[in-house]
Amino acid sequence: MPPPSLDKSESGRLLNDARTAQGVTWAELAAAINRPLVWTVAALLGKHPVSAEDATTICAKLGLGPEVQAALQRQPYRIPEPGLSSDPTIYRLHEAVDVYGGALKELIHEEFGDGIMSAINSRCPSNGGRTRAATASSSPSTASSCPISGDSRVAGSLR
């Protein structure tokens, strides 16, 4: 009987442990496979399948075995994780949807008509640090969520 396969969540934990132990950044992994940063993090944590070539590259870079490589390539179950919405960072994203959700819905319907959007195939745009919709702060009392253009401090604002 073959050994049980590694699930995508566990492979994501193993990958993240190896990444942090070796001091490798998510940006370095994204560059290694020439993929967008946010997509790469989501995929490597188990939310998207990764091509065989990309899985090989990532696992070689981090010294991970064939079990992780195989798990990265499998189709994920895209279901909510219990307790995730109570995480402070994730909760703030829910607040952002509360604030901007109606506007985004209007823009989607104006551009594409009455339909549905895919969160799985959506994009998280970056304007090279020139515009931000939210800032991160080590102090909850100083965090904000307002668009600011021309701010060169964005790259260093996340702690």
Active-site residues: which are they?
92, 95, 118
CB 69 within 8 A of CB 6: no
The C-alpha atoms of residue 38 and residue 8 are separated, in whole angstroms, by: 17
User: 148 pairs with which residues across the strands?
Assistant: 132
CB 96 within 8 A of CB 135: no
Output b/e per residue, 91-108; b: 16+ Cβ within 10 A. eeeeeeeeeeeeeeeeee
